[in-house]
Structure 1
């Protein structure tokens, strides 16, 4: 059984930060669950373009307000607490945080924790040794 508290992850190697977000990785590939689980903050007033070409991602918004823009079809969706979206087709997208967004994210395959967004906004496909 794995038990972790968010307060024990913040400011450790399980927390990754960029200009527009902070991701606290509750489960990683080394935990052998078949997916990774993240508690992610998208900072208010920021715009983040992403394109996860190597991973499927499901996101559940639990706090804040923003806009999700699907760059593949031009659709826009309001994000508020209680909204879920799944990138089941590896859609290129933009998150606009009108207020700070707090998201619970699941990645398949799981991330290792060493990934950073590349120039396309994607995580490389890394595996655990």
Structure 2
């Protein structure tokens, strides 16, 4: 059984921050769960262009508001508490928080913990993740 304290995770190296977001990574690849689980805050006023080419992600909005634009279709969807979006086809997207948005996120395959978005808005593939983690340290 794995027990983690969110406050402790946020004060550790498992709390990864980048431009426009901070992610408390509660479960990672090394936990051998087959997925990773994160509580991520997306900061108001940022435009976060992402394209997870190597991962599938599901996101549940817990607090805050904004929009998500599907860059493949041009559709824009409202984000508010209770809305889930799943990037089931490695969808290119932009999240535009109008307030800080707190989300619960699941990644498959799981991330190693230190990933940040590359120039394409993606996290590296699993075989590249250890190199990225070493570079982020």
> Normalising to structure 2: TM-score of the pair?
0.91
Distance (Å, rounded) in 2 between the aligned partners of 1:74 and 1:105: 23
Structure 1 unaligned spans of 5+: none
How many residues end up aligned between the 2 structures?
Answer: 129
Of Structure 1 and Structure 2, the greater strand share is in 1
- Over residues 11-69 of structure 1, what are the superposed CA-to-partner deviations in whole Å (9 max), with x where a residue is unaligned? 31101001200000000000000000000000111110000000000000000000000
**Contact 2:14–2:114 (8 Å) recurs in 1:** no
Give the match's secondary structure for 2:25.
strand
**Stretches of 4+ moved more than 4 A in 1?**
none
Corresponding position of 1:118: 118
Does the 8 A contact of 2:61 with 2:102 survive in 1? yes
Cα deviation for residue 4 of structure 1 reads 0.7
User: What's the counterpart of residue 92 of structure 2?
Assistant: 92
Structure having the larger proportion of residues in helix: 2
Which position in structure 1 is the counterpart of 2:35?
35
Q: Which runs of 5+ in 2 are unaligned?
A: 131-137
SS in 2 for 1:104: strand
